[in-house]
Structures are given as structure tokens and as C-alpha cells.
Amino acid sequence: MIDRIRVQPSGQGLFEFTDEILESVARAQVGDGLCTLFVQHTSASLVIQENADPSARRDLERWLTRLVPEDDPLYTHTQEGPDDMPAHVRAALTATSLSIPIAEGRLVLGTWQGVFLWEHRHRPGTRTVVVHISAD
């Protein structure tokens, strides 16, 4: 089964969409299998991260911003603003796809794990995540 989830981030940062994935898995009615996620953009990424304490997400966001700063004179790809090339670098350093096992009709995520779209642009548009669910 193929599904698409639209995520509308309000700016840079981590935006959880685990519940939408759970809905896709429920609709697929798969007992055991695999859920593969793919973000169709070059300036956003996917990550499984703690979803209980927001400070963990903020610390991760700040760390990546420090690692890949904006306005680096090295960048030449700047047509869309100072966050353009850093967004591509951040997406390259993270993941554009994730795979999560499904067992007994449920995603096999840990207690504190959630799935997040990591938006790397200040003014993003709607992001599309393709969900592919396959049965064993």
C-alpha cells in the first residue's frame, strides 16, 4: 500500500507526525511487515527521536544549526535566501527515508520514540511524505 502524508511545518524545527503514520498502518491492515517513509524534498528530512521531552528536540535543533550555520561565505547556492544551502546540507546529513517494522498490526517504536519531519527552511511549504507499507 502507498499513502501520502502532508505535513505543514510553521518554520524550522522538528514536527511530529507519528499519529498520521499510525493511521496509515491501521488502514493497511497488515499484521507483520515494514513501513517505509520517504520525504519528497531536498531541504527537509526524517528522524526518529524522543517525543516526551521537547528539550531533547530543541537541543538537537540547536546542535545542527551550530554545525551547519547560515550565511557561510562558502555557499554559492543562495538564490532562495540564506537558509537555502544550509537546508540542503542539513538534509544530506540526516535521512530522507526511514524504515520501521510492523508487528501484529502496530509500528514497532520504542516507548519514547516518535517520527518527525525535520524542516530546515524558515518559510517552508507543505511537505509530502510517501508511506509504503508492505506485508511479510
CA distances (Å), origin 118, targets 9, 48, 78: 9, 10, 20
- What is the Cα–Cα distance from 120 to 118, expressed in whole angstroms? 6
Instruction: Classify 2-70+80-135 by CATH class.
Output: mainly beta
Domain residue extents for the chain: 2-70+80-135
> pLDDT truncated to tens, each residue of the chain (136 aa)?
999 999 999 999 999 999 999 999 999 999 999 999 999 999 999 999 999 999 999 999 999 999 999 989 999 999 999 999 999 999 999 999 999 999 999 999 999 999 999 999 999 999 999 999 999 8
pTM (2 decimals)? 0.95
pLDDT tens sequence across 93-104: 999 999 999 999
Cell of 35: 513501513
